[in-house]
Amino acid sequence: MTRPVARSLSPGAGCITWAREPPGRRESLVSAVYSILSGISYGMVLFLLSAGVSIVFGLMNIINLAHGMLFMLAGYAGIEIMKTTGSFWLALVVGILAAGVAGLVIERGFLRTLYAKQLSQILVCFGFIYIITNLHLWFYGPIPKAMPIPEVLTNSVPVGPYNFSYYRIMIIAVGFLLCGFLYWVQERTRVGAIVRAGMEKPEMVNAMGINLMAVNIAAFFVASCLSGLAGVLGTGVIGGISYFTGGNYVFLAIAVCIIGGVGSIQGALAGALIIGVFESLAKTFYPPLALYIMYLLMALVIMFRPSGLLGRK
């Protein structure tokens, strides 16, 4: 029987195709397991990116289309630090801080006067997309760039005849740990109670003497840092970054929020994993469907659950 051959047809999700004859039941099961694991790791990158979009829109009513630019900026910053110092962990820290600071500049300098003015927000963010995209194209050119994976994470775990890298396992672990921490902060702490109240009744929060503006600034910074974390870690999963990566991935983040629901950490996780796993399985077993699976999922959710699977109504 023909052995399965692993091949990646697109960034993010692992894909397996078959050389000549249809796979048997065992091979199909192994392929499905490998695809699901790859989809989970890809979904965790989407979660780290989309959680910030969800929080910022739910709390501040800002559609931050420039969020993907922070993802791209952090990826390039991490690559440069890695090339200069050889330290992956320093590259990770610098990438996160670069995205956080850039996010604060965008919010304080341009978006703070545009709360609830969504058309103006979109126009300003499109301006940043155009400027940052072309700056990256100018400095780095059109060829995608990837950051080398640390040697300690280059080993892998066998999944049948395939190998699932420690790097992807680390991303899955980081994603679940951060999801648990963010959920605890949002649901079990005073800061989380203020954030939830600010999403639903901002006038009441201000009337109680709580400085909601400071909470908004902190939330925007944290959201930007999450995008930076996704940008640095994601370069090893999505096949590298290029000048169009930021624009592509912000729309993926919005799709995650539509499916999972706005203002919900668990919703962002659910939406990201659904897109990641279904897209990975589609690329493995029926690649033409992979081009449309995300849109089909969004359409189904909008039809039957307009607020998202776990969104705040």
Q: What angle do CA 220, 71, 288 make, to 5 degrees?
A: 125
pLDDT at 19: 43
Neighbours of 157 (CB within 10 A): 12
Residue 22 pLDDT grade (very low, low, confident, very high; cuts 50, 70, 90):
low
Q: Are 125 and 132 in contact (CB under 8 A)?
A: no
Lowest mean pLDDT among 14-23, 190-199, 208-217: 14-23
Which helix or strand (DSSP H or E) is residue 200 part of? helix 190-200
Q: Are 237 and 168 in contact (CB under 8 A)?
A: yes
Asked if pLDDT for residue 196 goes beyond 50, the answer is yes
Written in H, E and C, the secondary structure of 97-129 is HHHHHHHHHHHHHHHCCCCCCHHHHHHHHHHHH
Full domain range(s) for residue 49: 43-304
Residue 6 pLDDT grade (very low, low, confident, very high; cuts 50, 70, 90):
very low
Asked if pLDDT for residue 20 goes beyond 50, the answer is no
Lowest mean pLDDT among 11-25, 117-131, 202-216, 269-283: 11-25
Number of structural domains the chain divides into = 1
DSSP strands (E only) in the chain:
4-6, 16-18, 156-159, 162-165
In a domain, 191, yes or no: yes
Q: What DSSP string describes 90-104?
A: HHHHHHHHHHHHHHH
Mean pLDDT score, 205-234: 87
Residue 190, strand partner residues: none
Tell me the HSE value of 105 on the side-chain side, using a 13 A CA sphere.
10
Residue 17 pLDDT grade (very low, low, confident, very high; cuts 50, 70, 90):
very low
Asked if pLDDT for residue 208 goes beyond 70, the answer is yes
At a CB cut-off of 8 Å and minimum separation 6, what does 118 contact?
61, 63
Lowest mean pLDDT among 21-25, 46-50, 216-220: 21-25
pLDDT at 4: 43
pLDDT at 167: 92
Mean pLDDT score, 264-275: 92
Tell which wins on pLDDT, 189 or 201. 189
In a domain, 246, yes or no: yes
In a domain, 195, yes or no: yes
Tell me the C-alpha distance between 187 and 273, whole Å: 21
In a domain, 10, yes or no: no
Tell me the C-alpha distance between 293 and 137, whole Å: 30
In a domain, 165, yes or no: yes
pLDDT at 18: 42
In a domain, 4, yes or no: no
pLDDT at 152: 83
Asked if pLDDT for residue 8 goes beyond 70, the answer is no
Tell me the C-alpha distance between 249 and 238, whole Å: 10
In a domain, 142, yes or no: yes
Output the average pLDDT for the chain: 84
Place of tokens 């624009």: 247
DSSP state of 186: H
Q: Are 268 and 260 in contact (CB under 8 A)?
A: yes
Helix axes 166-188, 265-285, angle to 10 degrees: 150
Residue 36 identity (one-letter amino acid): I
In a domain, 85, yes or no: yes
pLDDT at 1: 42
pLDDT at 241: 87
Place of tokens 């962990």: 89
Q: What are the backbone angles phi and psi of residue 85, rounded to the nearest 5°?
A: -110, -25
Mean pLDDT score, 256-271: 89
Structure tokens at 303: 């039809």
Mean pLDDT score, 138-161: 84
Residue 62 pLDDT grade (very low, low, confident, very high; cuts 50, 70, 90):
confident
Measured in whole angstroms, the distance separating CA 299 from the mean position of its chain's CA atoms is 20
Residue 6, strand partner residues: 16
